[in-house]
């Protein structure tokens, strides 16, 4: 068992596809810790994350501490018809009778797929620094994301930077928890 990363971060950096792949195990460990998922989750997520790297508009950021350990990570890409998340959200919006939201939100958007900060590093602005860096120059006219419903630090961060409700209390296939789909226009203001 490895020690938890120290909470301090020294820098937020862009991660190239090669750098992201080289840190995949570390990023997945961070994801599992931040989300409270069982350790076996990484075996299912690794192939998916590897495939995401190949999508148009893919970009990633990481927060590194003085020991060069990853204490925060985020990535996303251009959302498109045929992608699992896109189709899930589209179906949810149509089931809610909101075809206009499909047209308004789901035509030219950056899907913020993952954004995680190690629990020991939360509460000091690192999530917002990662979010702003990831979305700086992101393709698309808007950004969409999903996050579990509830009063979490992530929820408060997204509200603070102007995300609004797109779809609430949605249950993605394979996960019984309710999620909110949130969106906002790009670019983010400073």
What does each of the 190 residues of the chain score in pLDDT, given as a tens digit?
444 544 456 799 999 999 999 999 999 999 999 988 898 999 999 999 999 999 999 999 999 999 999 999 999 999 999 999 999 999 999 999 999 999 999 999 999 999 999 999 998 999 999 999 999 999 999 999 999 998 888 999 999 999 999 999 999 998 888 999 999 999 998 6
Would you say residue 22 lies in a domain? yes
Catalytic residue among 75, 77, 109, 158: 158
Return the SS3 of 28.
helix
Q: Residue 73's domain is classified under what CATH number? A: 3.40.630.30
- Report how many domains make up the chain: 1
Would you say residue 110 lies in a domain? yes
Would you say residue 144 lies in a domain? yes
Query: Which residue bears the tokens 């195990």?
Result: 25
The answer to whether the beta carbons of residues 62 and 12 sit under 8 Å apart is yes
A 10 A CB-CB count for 158 gives 24
Would you say residue 2 lies in a domain? no
Would you say residue 122 lies in a domain? yes
Range of the domain at 162: 11-185
Would you say residue 6 lies in a domain? no
Question: Is this model's pTM higher than 0.85 or not?
Answer: yes
- Active-site annotation holds for 158: yes
The answer to whether the beta carbons of residues 105 and 182 sit under 8 Å apart is no
């Amino acid at each position: 068992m490895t020690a938890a990363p120290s909470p301090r971060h020294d820098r937020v950096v862009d991660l190239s596809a090669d750098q992201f792949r080289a840190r995949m195990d570390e990023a997945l460990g961070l994801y599992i810790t931040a989300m409270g998922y069982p350790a076996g989750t990484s075996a299912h997520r690794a192939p998916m994350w590897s495939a995401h790297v190949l999508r148009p508009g893919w970009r990633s950021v990481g927060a590194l501490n003085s020991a060069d350990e990853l204490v925060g990570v985020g990535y996303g890409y251009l959302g498109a018809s045929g992608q699992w998340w896109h189709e899930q959200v589209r179906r949810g919006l149509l089931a809610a009778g909101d075809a206009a939201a499909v047209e308004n939100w789901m035509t030219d958007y950056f899907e913020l797929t993952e954004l995680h900060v190690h629990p020991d590093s939360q509460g000091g602005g690192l999530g917002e620094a990662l979010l702003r860096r990831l979305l700086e120059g992101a393709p698309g006219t808007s950004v969409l994301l999903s996050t579990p419903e509830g009063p979490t630090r992530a929820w408060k961060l997204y509200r603070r930077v102007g995300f609004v409700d797109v779809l609430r209390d949605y249950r993605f296939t394979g996960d019984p928890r309710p999620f909110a789909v949130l969106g906002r226009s790009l670019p983010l203001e400073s």
